[in-house]
Structure 1
Amino acid sequence: MAVDQHAAPGSEPHASKAVDQGSTAHRRKAWIVLALLVGLMLVNFADKVVVGLAGVGMKQELGLNDRDFGFIQSSFFWLFSLGSVLGGWLGGKVRARWLLAGVAALWVLSLAPMAFQVGFTTIVACRVLLGFAEGPTTALAMQVAHSWFPAHQRAVPSSIVVAGAGLGPLIAAPVLTWVISEHSWHAAFGVLAAFGAVVVVLWLIGGDAGPESAAAEEAPDGGTAAVVLPRRVPLGSLLRTGTLIGAMLLFFVAYANTAIKVSWLPLYLEEGLGYDATTAGNLVALPYLGSATAVITVGFWSRSLTERGVSNRVTRGVLPAVMVLGSGACVITYSSLDRGPLQLVLLVLSACLSAAGFGAGFAGLSDVVPALQRGAVFGIVTGFYSAAGIVAPMVMGNMVAAGHTRAAGYGDGFLLLGVFMAVGAVVALLLIHPDRDARKLAQQGRGATIGRPRGPVV
């Protein structure tokens, strides 16, 4: 197990619960926890997409226009960043079993009122609470997943966690569309609240963070990694690395695509392209099916490349950036096409590339962030990129309202999104370099340790 070789004399390695990571029991538990994390992510994203699925009925019942609906969708993200940062900070102080169960319980509380007759203000309040509670989910899930797997294996669990985000809408879209058509949009929220409560109970039974030794930085051959990060690095130094800056930018543009897909895709298919409600609900599932498949495939591919000696610069920097760039190109192309198979193929491909790049990119963060700081840093990163969820739905709503036709308004909105994604991906491609930045941080840590008086670390 790799530890800080430059710790002050008398200090103890952070490995109080050392276990054999190769044991069958450990591997079994790791995959059980990963499955539970997927369940949490599934509910997390089903909660996001339900307003889009219920959008037409909600607008009719409450007399909402496009700007009003964009306001509702944007409100979900008002406190999302605050929740991300706060949850990340708590991630290093509160046991993962209780923290994730607590935030998931808040999801249930925010969904339950929507099962009954509510007004515009109540809807906004419930979405704000839900966004605040869901803010830290991805960061905490990544932190927990990484605590069960050594460094060279993290691309796969990272991708599987992200795949859970795709499975949520994939399963929820057809099921909730049926619930809405057969009952009401209120019933869809009731179903999600009940399912969320079940997931909370399951997590309390079997979920928790992994042993501290699983966070050790190991080389693919099982030895000590060539670069051993200090136990802690000044936060300013971390946030100034090209990898952190590039990853946050890459995630920002990718999440803008996700936010618009979650918020507006069902309405785009129904109002902009003219599909009936049932067909639109079924088509919404296609991008999520593709995303879940692509993100896991790329995760295994990235791991395979790493184990064959390909640098993290390529597998966790170039690869995800190129994928998001390709996603942006697909968005630009389908924004000008009429309804048809080619447009749907490009729409699904865009979602696949964006999600796959997101999953591979997240693994690169653990290469430069010490294990003890991942919760806080992941929370900051999530808080930053989730701000795209505030802006993107409102911009799309304004573009739709300003278009000379609804189809033209949607086309202009997606064109702007595609250009934004392409530019952001190119800049991120130039910045992300996990190997280089890890070496710099390790050197800084050694220099700080050498210059520190001998004695206990406080």
Structure 2
Amino acid sequence: MSDHPVPPRPSAGRAWTVTALVLLFLLINYADKTVVGLAAEPIMKDLGLGEEQYAFVQSCFYFLFSVSGIVVGFAAAKRRTTRVMVVLALVWGLTALPMAAGLGFGALVASRIALGAAEGPAVPAATHTVYGWFLARDRALPNALVHIGPTLGVVASAPLLSWIIADFGYRTAFGVLFALSVVWAAAWLLFANDGPYAKSTVPSARREPVPYRAFFRSGTVLGAVLAGFVAFWATTTALGFLPRYLASGLGIGHQQAGTLSALPSLLATVVIVVMGAVSTRWRRRGVGSRRAYCLPGMVLLAVSGTAMILFPHTGKGAALVLITLAFGLPSAFYPMVWLLIGELVPPERRLAVTAATTAVATSAGVFAPLVMGRFLTAENGYAAGFAVCGALLLAGAVVGTALINPERDRRRLPAFAPVAESVA
């Protein structure tokens, strides 16, 4: 008999209710991100913005994104993550009010910086919350379902927000996002809580804690950060510039371009769910996490990078197919990052480690819009910008394959083995 307490298994209904609410949380998260890209033309016209000013607006969202991810992640490591998520959602709603109220360029910049600060910790907090309701062997599918929140956020919000922007104006779209955040926060307070596996059940006296630096020096975390960086570069490029490229580069109408920009996210949603189900089956059969999570993820990045380089040089039909692959597959890679880190890092370290690694990876959001904005001032700017993005994706696939190996790194962390929640 075990000499330390083992938490009772939570009811499946409660665990999946929390998972569904977390999915909605991340759906709203990405709707907030996409609204400026979808409303780029009316915003630029209304506020008199040029290409580089618009690129600055897209970039400023990430000014505090990484910093807040680290600060909030470490601060929240010993607190109830569910309460942190309520605060984040309410701040998201408040940042939509200045644009809904009719304020100008300064308000747009300030609100996007504030929104980025509040969204920086969102994905680590959400993932940590869900992991608190499932054993490690059972996480791949709920992890996949949670991480279709961002892709569904684009799939659902792109057509809806494009319609609202076209028929009622972009300021109304910001008002709708405010209302969604408030409603979600109320539902979360009523139904959610931290799960029984949110903390380690092994008394600290039974094992030496692993210092944070040991995780940050591991090949798995380093490789996941670098691969995540290039994947996020692609995602940021899509959010800020894909609707505009479809309109100006392929000659598609603005509202239709907004709708078609959801195709990559639709593909990512399908791939995430399928890979989550397959990975869960593999892990339960004893397949290692490198084979189950890392190698499939690297294939996604390699295919994406190749498609990214090719699509500006093809016809409209082929371009749409390649665009879907180029921008959809990096989003499908993200759940693999969380699973890899989650298998290596014990619960009491997980939120801080994932927040810090996410902060580094998502710093790509500062640079990608500025690089693309510079290219767009020259001839064939889109093709050059997408080629840089494709090359980064291919490099990330190579580096990730070489570095990521959770089984190897776990053996180098002797304090990991007794963590009860990670036992299958």
Instruction: Tell me if the contact between 1:367 and 1:435 (Cα under 8 Å) persists in the aligned partners.
Output: no
Asked if 1:396 is matched to 2:385, the reply is: no
CA deviations over 1:261-312 (Å, ceiling 9, x no partner): 1111111111222211121011012111111111111111111121222211
Cα distance in 2, alignment partners of residues 248 and 290 from structure 1: 23
Give the partner amino acid of 1:297: V
Alignment equivalent of 2:354, drawn from 378, 394, 408: 378
Cross-structure match for 1:185: 170
Instruction: Tell me if the contact between 1:317 and 1:434 (Cα under 8 Å) persists in the aligned partners.
Output: no
1:332 Cα deviation (Å)?
1.2
Instruction: Tell me if the contact between 1:232 and 1:372 (Cα under 8 Å) persists in the aligned partners.
Output: no
Count of aligned residue pairs for this structure pair? 415
Cα distance in 2, alignment partners of residues 147 and 119 from structure 1: 42
Matches within 5 A, 1:25-40: 26-40=11-25
Matches within 5 A, 1:303-382: 303-338=280-315, 340-382=316-358
Matches within 5 A, 1:32-71: 32-71=17-56
- The 1:285/1:32 distance shift into structure 2, 3 A limit, reads same
Cα distance in 2, alignment partners of residues 428 and 363 from structure 1: 14
Cα distance in 2, alignment partners of residues 376 and 238 from structure 1: 11
Structure 1, unmatched stretches of 5+, are 3-11, 218-228, 447-458
Cα distance in 1, alignment partners of residues 295 and 201 from structure 2: 25
CA deviations over 1:80-103 (Å, ceiling 9, x no partner): 001111221133222122110001
Query: Share of identical aligned residues, percent?
Result: 35
Give the partner amino acid of 2:340: G
User: Which range moved further: 347-356 or 32-41?
Assistant: 347-356
Give the partner amino acid of 1:383: A
Cross-structure match for 1:242: 219
Q: Secondary structure at the match of 2:376?
A: helix
Cα distance in 2, alignment partners of residues 443 and 94 from structure 1: 23
Cross-structure match for 2:65: 80
Cross-structure match for 2:421: none
Alignment equivalent of 1:158, drawn from 123, 128, 143: 143
Instruction: Tell me if the contact between 1:83 and 1:135 (Cα under 8 Å) persists in the aligned partners.
Output: yes
Cross-structure match for 2:85: 100
Instruction: Tell me if the contact between 2:134 and 2:197 (Cα under 8 Å) persists in the aligned partners.
Output: no
CA deviations over 1:137-171 (Å, ceiling 9, x no partner): 00001101111111112121221121000011111
- The 1:206/1:77 distance shift into structure 2, 3 A limit, reads same
Cα distance in 2, alignment partners of residues 371 and 14 from structure 1: 16
Instruction: Tell me if the contact between 1:253 and 1:425 (Cα under 8 Å) persists in the aligned partners.
Output: no
Q: Secondary structure at the match of 1:141?
A: helix
Instruction: Tell me if the contact between 2:131 and 2:198 (Cα under 8 Å) persists in the aligned partners.
Output: no
Alignment TM-score, normalising by the size of structure 2 = 0.94
Cross-structure match for 1:267: 244
Instruction: Tell me if the contact between 1:148 and 1:215 (Cα under 8 Å) persists in the aligned partners.
Output: no
Alignment TM-score, normalising by the size of structure 1 = 0.87
Cross-structure match for 1:223: none
Instruction: Tell me if the contact between 1:151 and 1:215 (Cα under 8 Å) persists in the aligned partners.
Output: no
Instruction: Tell me if the contact between 2:344 and 2:416 (Cα under 8 Å) persists in the aligned partners.
Output: no
Give the partner amino acid of 1:409: G
Q: Secondary structure at the match of 2:344?
A: coil
Instruction: Tell me if the contact between 1:177 and 1:281 (Cα under 8 Å) persists in the aligned partners.
Output: yes
- The 1:307/1:64 distance shift into structure 2, 3 A limit, reads same
Cα distance in 1, alignment partners of residues 198 and 389 from structure 2: 42
Cα distance in 1, alignment partners of residues 390 and 70 from structure 2: 28
Cα distance in 1, alignment partners of residues 75 and 141 from structure 2: 25
Give the partner amino acid of 1:423: A
CA deviations over 1:308-357 (Å, ceiling 9, x no partner): 2221111122121221121111111113223x221111111223321222
- The runs of at least 4 aligned residues of structure 1 exceeding 6 Å deviation read 213-217, 443-446
Instruction: Tell me if the contact between 1:332 and 1:415 (Cα under 8 Å) persists in the aligned partners.
Output: yes
Cα distance in 2, alignment partners of residues 236 and 395 from structure 1: 32
Cross-structure match for 2:383: 411
Q: Secondary structure at the match of 2:193?
A: coil
Cα distance in 2, alignment partners of residues 307 and 214 from structure 1: 23
Q: Secondary structure at the match of 1:88?
A: helix
Cα distance in 1, alignment partners of residues 93 and 76 from structure 2: 21
Q: Secondary structure at the match of 1:78?
A: coil
Q: Secondary structure at the match of 1:441?
A: coil
Cα distance in 1, alignment partners of residues 216 and 39 from structure 2: 39
Q: Secondary structure at the match of 1:82?
A: helix
CA deviations over 1:188-214 (Å, ceiling 9, x no partner): 111111111111111111122211378
Q: CA RMSD in A?
A: 2.0
Higher Rg: 1
Structure 2, unmatched stretches of 5+, are 419-424
Cross-structure match for 1:6: none
1:418 Cα deviation (Å)?
0.3
Cα distance in 2, alignment partners of residues 146 and 237 from structure 1: 22
Q: Secondary structure at the match of 2:309?
A: helix
Asked if 1:199 is matched to 2:184, the reply is: yes
Alignment equivalent of 2:256, drawn from 279, 289, 296: 279
